[in-house]
Amino acid sequence: MFAENLKESFENLIILDENGKSEISISVCVIQNDGSSKSAVFNAITLALLDAGVSMKDFLVSVTVGLD
């Protein structure tokens, strides 16, 4: 379910017309899960796409908040 959520989120952000016939493959390896890995994954993918020069409609930013 999380993989589908990631795919949907980034498919809606990437401008397909400007990226031609390119294939964008995203692989993430979570080394340690302290409870906020999903937010870290979203942020890491966004930064990697920006660094690679992939045209996007907007930036996806995620945060995790806990309350005791």
Q: What is the value of pTM for the model shown?
A: 0.84
φ, ψ for residue 7 (rounded to 5)? -60, -50
pLDDT for position 66: 84
Q: What is the pLDDT of residues 20-56, one digit of tens each?
A: 788 888 898 989 888 889 999 999 999 999 999 999 9
| pLDDT greater than 90 at residue 3 | no
Q: What is the CA radius of gyration of the chain?
A: 13
pLDDT for position 57: 93
The region, left, alpha or beta by phi > 0 then psi within -120 to 50, assigned to residue 53 is left
60 within 8 A of 10, measured Cβ to Cβ: yes
pLDDT for position 16: 83
CA-to-CA dists, residue 7 to 25, 31, 34, 35, angstroms = 10, 21, 23, 21
